[in-house]
Structure 1
Amino acid sequence: MKRLRLPLILVVLVALALLPLYGTDTMIQFGISTLLLAVLAQGWNIIGGYTGYPSFGNSVFYGLGAYGVGIAMVQWQLPFAVGMTFGVVLAVAFAFLLGIPVLRLKGHYFAIATLALAQIMAAIVSNVPLAGENIGLVLPPLNNDPFFYEMSLILLVLATLTIWWLTRSRFGFGLIAIRENEEGAVVMGVDTTRYKVLAFALAGIFSALAGGIHAYWITFLDPESAFDITLNVKMIIMAVFGGPGTLLGPIVGSFILSAISELLSSEVTSIAGLFFGVVIVVAVVLMPRGLADVMRRFRRTGWHYFIENIRMHRI
C-alpha cells in the first residue's frame, strides 16, 4: 500500500496541474477556492495538528496577507510579488509580537484569546486610512483564473512539503513533543516558547500567502471579509475532518468538504448550511481523529471503531 502512495499522489498532482487545460471556468474557480482552503488547513495543521494549540486566529494572518497585497498594489503602485512579501512580513511580525504572550495560554483559554484577535484586527484596520478604512480597497483586475489556480496549487504543494519536512526534522519532533506533553518536552530540553512561536509564524506565512492570492483574485478587500471569523472554523473543520497531525489529512478533508458544500449549495440552497453542519457533527462523533485514523484502524477493528468512538465521545 505504501509503495502505491507516491505514484498515486503524483498522478493526482499532475491531474490537478492540468485542470486549466480541460476544466470549465466554474471548475477552475472552484479549484482556486478549494486549494486556498487546503492551504489554510495545512497552515492550521502546523500549530493545531502538530503543536497541539487549537488556534482560532489564523484568519488574522490571512487578512494581513490580503491587506499586504492590497496596500502595496493600490496605495503604493507596487507589483503583486512585492505585496505578497509585504503581507508575509506583516504576518510574521504579528506572530512574533503577539505569539509570545498568547502562546503562554493553554487549552480553551488559548482558543478564546486567538478567536478575539480577528475581531480586534478588523476593528484596527477599519480605522487605518492606508488600508481604506471601512470602505476597503479595490485592486487592479487580472482576468486570469488559470494563473491564480496554478499559484494556489504551487502554494499547497509548498505547504505540504513543509509538513513533510516537519515529520522528519528535529523541529517537527519538538512540536510533537509539545503536543503530547509540554512539561515533558521542557524536561527533554525543548525550548517550548521558541518552538511554539516559530510554528505560529510558519502557519502565518502560508495563511498570509493564501490571503494575498485570494485578494488579488477577487480584486476587492474590506475588513469584514479579510478577517472573517468563519474562515477559522472552516480551516479547523477541514483539518480535523481529514486528520490533524497528518501529512495529507487536511488536504483530503478540504477537498471532500468543499465538494459537499458546493453540491449542497447548488442542489438544496435553503438548507445547505444545515446539512453541512450535520455532516460535520456526525463526522466528529464517529471519527474524532479524522479520516486518516479511520483508514489506519478500520481494517483492523471494523465497525467497532465507530462504536468505540461513540462510547468515548458521547454527549
Structure 2
Amino acid sequence: MSNKKMWRTGLVVLALLLLAGVPWYGSDVLIQFGINALLLAVLAQGWNIIGGYTGYASFGNSVFYGLGGYGVAIAMVQWQLPFGVGLVFGVLLAIVFAVLLGLPVLRLKGHYFAIATLALSQVMTAIVSNVGLAGQNIGLVLPPLNNDRLFYELALGLLVIATLTIFWLTRSRFGFGLIAIRENEEAAAVMGVNTTLYKVLAFTLSGIFSALAGGIHAYWITFLDPESAFDISLNVKMIIMAVFGGPGTVLGPIVGALSLSAVSEFLSSEVTSVAGLFFGVVIVAAVVMMPLGLADMLRRFRKTGWRYFIENIRIHRL
C-alpha cells in the first residue's frame, strides 16, 4: 500500500472513530443532529448508486424512504411486531416497488425519467392517504423509544454498510457495468451489459438503503403521515448533497451531507430567514463552479488553482 493510500485510510478510520464516539462525548442536541445528518448521508449514498454511478437522476427515492417508514409503522402499530420485522417489511415494499416501477420507468432517459420519478411521490401520497391500514391522512403514531444513542448507532452502522457497498461497486463487474451505462448506454449494451437488469438492480439497491433510513427515522420521531413520508423536498436534499460532495465517488456524498447539514443547521438557528434559500444557492453554485463536486474540486484545485473555477464558469457561459 502506498503512502497516499495509507494516509487516506488513516483519515477515514479517524473520522469513523470520531463519529462513533459522538454518543459518548456529545450533548443530546449534537446526537440528535448527528442522527439526522447520518440518515441524510445514507440517502445521499443511496441516490449515488442510481444517480452518480448509473447516471439516472432519480426524484423517486423519497418514495422508498416513505415505504420504509410505513413498513416499520404498520408492522409496529397495526400488527404489534418488533422494529426489526418492520424494517424487513419496509425493505420488501421498496424492492417490490423498485422492480415493478423500475422496469417501465427506467426505459425513459434524461429529463423524461426525472419528470416520471418526480410524479411518483405525489402519486404515492395520494394512494397512502386512502389506505386505512396506513392511517390514511391522519398517519400513525409509533411507540416511543427514548434512546437516541441507539438510533445514532443504527444510522452510523447503516451509513458504513452503504459506503462499503459503494466501495464494492467501484471494484465489481456490476459497478463497472453501471459506469458504462452512465457513460454510454448504447455502447454498454453492445459490449454485452444487460442494461435493463443492471438499471433495475441499481434502482432496487438504491431503494433498499433509502427504505432502511426511512424506517429508522420513523421509529425515532414516532410519527408518520403521507405528506412527511413522501416529501419531495427530501429527495431534492439528497441530490444536492450527493452532487455537492461528488456524485460517482465513494466518500463525496458523505462529505456533502455532513457539511451541508452543519451549515444548514447553523443558518436555521442563527439566520432563520436565509436558511430556506440556502440549498437553492448551493445547487446553483455547485453545478456552475464545481459540477463534479467537492471530491473533483479538491483533486484538481491543487494542480490548476483558481483556473478550475474560471474554466467551469466559462464552460457554462457565465
When normalised by structure 2's length, the TM-score is 0.98
What is the Cα deviation at residue 275 of structure 1?
A: 3.9
CA distance in 2, matches of 1:28, 1:314: 43
Q: 1:58 aligns with which of 53, 56, 61?
A: 61
Which range is displaced more, 274-283 or 262-271? 274-283
List per-residue Cα deviations over 1:267-303 (Å, max 9, x = no partner).
1112222244323322221101100101111111111
Taking the TM superposition and a 5 Å limit, the aligned residue runs for 1:195-274 are 195-274=198-277
Q: Does 1:291 align with 2:288?
A: no
CA distance in 2, matches of 1:186, 1:283: 32
Q: Does 1:303 align with 2:306?
A: yes
What is the Cα deviation at residue 50 of structure 1?
A: 0.2
List per-residue Cα deviations over 1:115-174 (Å, max 9, x = no partner).
000110010000000000000000000000000000000000000000000000000000
CA distance in 1, matches of 2:274, 2:18: 33
Aligned pair count reads 315
Partner of 2:11: 8
* Percent of aligned positions that are identical: 79
Partner of 2:153: 150
What is the Cα deviation at residue 210 of structure 1?
A: 0.1
Check conservation: 2:237, 2:279, Cα contact below 8 A. no
Partner of 2:131: 128
Check conservation: 1:261, 1:272, Cα contact below 8 A. yes
Q: 2:119 aligns with which of 112, 116, 124?
A: 116
SS of match in other structure, 2:6: helix
Which runs of 5 or more residues in structure 1 are unaligned?
none
What is the Cα deviation at residue 22 of structure 1?
A: 0.5
Check conservation: 2:72, 2:87, Cα contact below 8 A. yes
Q: Does 1:42 align with 2:75?
A: no
CA distance in 2, matches of 1:243, 1:308: 18
CA distance in 2, matches of 1:258, 1:199: 26
CA distance in 2, matches of 1:278, 1:201: 31
Q: Give the ranges of 4+ consecutive aligned residues of structure 1 lying more than 4 Å apart after TM superposition.
A: none
Q: 1:160 aligns with which of 154, 159, 163?
A: 163
CA distance in 1, matches of 2:242, 2:279: 15
List per-residue Cα deviations over 1:175-219 (Å, max 9, x = no partner).
000000000000000000000000000000000000000000000
RMSD: 0.8
